[in-house]
Chain A
Amino acid sequence: NAGVMQNPRHLVRRRGQEARLRCSPMKGHSHVYWYRQLPEEGLKFMVYLQKENIIDESGMPKERFSAEFPKEGPSILRIQQVVRGDSAAYFCASSQPGGSYNEQFFGPGTRLTVL
Chain B
Amino acid sequence: AQSVTQLDSQVPVFEEAPVELRCNYSSSVSVYLFWYVQYPNQGLQLLLKYLSGSTLVKGINGFEAEFNKSQTSFHLRKPSVHISDTAEYFCAFLLYNQGGKLIFGQGTELSVKP
Contact of B99 (CB < 8 Å), options: A41, A55, A93: A55
Q: Is A74 an interface residue (CB 8 A)?
A: no
Chain B residues touching A, range:
20 to 34
Q: Is A104 an interface residue (CB 8 A)?
A: yes
Q: Which residues of B contact A93 (CB under 8 A)?
A: 44, 102
Min CB–CB distance B105 → chain A (angstroms) = 5
CA distance A93 to B90 in the complex (A): 15
Contact between B101 and A48 (Cβ–Cβ < 8 Å)? yes
Number of A-B residue pairs with CB-CB distance less than 8 Å in the complex they form: 61
Chain B contact residues, CB within 8 Å of chain A: 4, 6, 32, 36, 41-46, 49, 51, 90, 92, 94, 96-97, 99-107
Q: Which residues of B contact A43 (CB under 8 A)?
A: 44, 90, 92, 102, 104
Chain A contact residues, CB within 8 Å of chain B: 4, 31, 33, 35, 41-45, 48, 55-56, 58-59, 91, 93, 95, 100-104, 106-109, 111
Contact between B94 and A45 (Cβ–Cβ < 8 Å)? no
Min CB–CB distance B54 → chain A (angstroms) = 16
What are 20 of the A-B contact pairs (CB < 8 Å)?
A31-B100, A41-B107, A42-B90, A42-B107, A43-B104, A45-B101, A45-B102, A45-B103, A48-B100, A56-B99, A56-B101, A59-B101, A91-B44, A93-B44, A100-B96, A101-B94, A106-B43, A108-B41, A108-B43, A111-B41
